[in-house]
Amino acid sequence: MSDGTRGKTAATEQPSPFPLPQGYEEVICSLCEGDYHFGVAALVNSVVRRGFCGLFWIGIRGALPLWTADLRRRQDGLFEVGDALLGFESLKTDRHLGQYKSTFLSIIVDRRIASKYLWYFDPDVTLRCSWSFIQQWVTHGVSLCEDSNFGVMPPRHPLRCAWVNLARAAGWGEPLILPDRYYNSGFGHGHCQPRICRSVDGRRPTGTKQRGNSRPVSKRQP
């Protein structure tokens, strides 16, 4: 797929409607628009090479990437990438994609596309460890990525206090924990339980203790 992406732009064909995939134990999702589809290609390549055999489910604003024409497409609309599968969903939202992540995760859970484990990767992330490491990691709790530029954030940091006040005003009550680190939204994992992903779309999230480590993934600098 890497060779198929060089020098190509997005195709004009929109993602075709197919029945939604159901019940995949391991699902990786991402969101993209414009030329970020090149990052999706790099992400998919890196994860497949590390041993991933599940489903990639990509929310895309616009047309299918032209490089998908080089992939074998099954009758259910999914593309084959090594031992993994790749599917696209056309996004109808006008929201900034950075603010749409938790909604997209919730949709995947509610539609039962993922049945056990669900990861979100930004399309500028590549995997540097074996997939078996990620599989082991998820058994210890929710996976997060510490921000490389703004990793330390004490519990009483002014920004964190402002976020807590916003949560209180929205009726979310008091936080369960106040960590001393800052985790960005470029990578995360959760078990597929109702409402585990719903954090910024106006619905009250469940309380889940979070553990994070930035080492397994690498975000490319612009």
Residue type at 163 in one-letter notation: W
pLDDT at 17: 61
pLDDT at 193: 67
172: in domain: no
pTM score, two decimals? 0.76
pLDDT at 205: 40
173: in domain: no
Residue 11 structure tokens: 């195709």
The closest alpha carbon to 21, from 85, 94, 101, 73, belongs to 85
pLDDT string in tens for the chain (222-residue length) = 444 433 344 443 444 467 889 999 999 999 999 999 999 999 999 999 999 999 999 999 999 999 999 999 999 999 999 999 999 999 989 899 988 998 999 999 999 999 999 999 999 999 999 999 999 998 888 888 887 777 788 989 998 899 899 989 999 888 888 888 888 889 988 787 655 444 444 444 433 333 333 334 444 443
List the CATH number of the domain containing 28: 3.90.550
162: in domain: no
Q: Which structural domain range is residue 128 located in?
A: 3-143+183-205
215: in domain: no
pLDDT at 69: 95
Residue 27: phi and psi, rounded to 5, are -130, 130
The count of domains in the chain is 1
148: in domain: no
7: in domain: yes
**Strand (E) or helix (H) holding 152:** none
Write the CB contacts of 163 (distance below 8 Å, at least 6 apart in sequence).
Answer: none
